[in-house]
Amino acid sequence: MVFSLGQNVAMEQTRYQVRFDWAAAGAHAIGTNADVIVWVDAITEPGSDVDLKTLPQGPVVVFTDLTSAHAVAQWVIDLQVKLAKRILIAVVAAGSTRDGQLRVTTEDLLAAGAVVDQLAALGLDATSPEAAAAEAAYRGLSRATSHLLTAVTTTAKTKPTSEQLKVNPQLTVDDVKVLRS
């Protein structure tokens, strides 16, 4: 079984510029007609790289973790300016798998919320309720994010550095990892 917010919820998100869902199934639900998919994996585990073949084929795909949320948001703004149109953004949290099932992860929810928050700060605030909820989770917990991320299940295995546990405003669009253009 693959978890996503579901096709009906995805259809309801089509009227919003910034959308949110989980994993490859969620990317298909909200990203098929998007201009860009922001793939969010806050704490990348070995072997957990995204398989681009599992994502919709049309959109540009960029990667972000928590540290690069600001840079990715600016990159998205720059893409919108370059294309000279209102672009559609699918923010997709990777999650992880357990016994073949999607495991919704706190770290990816908070990192996705950070991306939505940074997009809103730059003027892209036509967010779906799902994206707004992720943003609210991040904003409400932003002062505790580093602590929370040291305590989640994933970090017990990966041991991230303190720099990996907060948004780095010093990163620029040149630091954005474009997975598919």
What is residue 137's predicted lDDT score, i.e. its pLDDT?
93
- pTM for this entry: 0.87
Distance between CA 140 and CA 108 in Å, rounded? 15
The residue among 57, 60, 58, 27 whose CA lies nearest residue 41 is 27
**CA–CA distance from 31 to each of 23, 35, 67, 72, 151 (Å)?**
11, 8, 23, 17, 31
- Write down the domain spans for the chain: 8-43+51-180
Distance between CA 81 and CA 109 in Å, rounded? 27
Distance between CA 81 and CA 78 in Å, rounded? 5
pLDDT over 90 at 11, yes or no? no
Model confidence pLDDT, tens digit, residues 117-167: 999 999 998 999 999 999 999 998 877 666 666 666 665 566 666 666 667
Distance between CA 34 and CA 13 in Å, rounded? 11
Model confidence pLDDT, tens digit, residues 42-66: 877 555 578 899 999 999 999 998 8
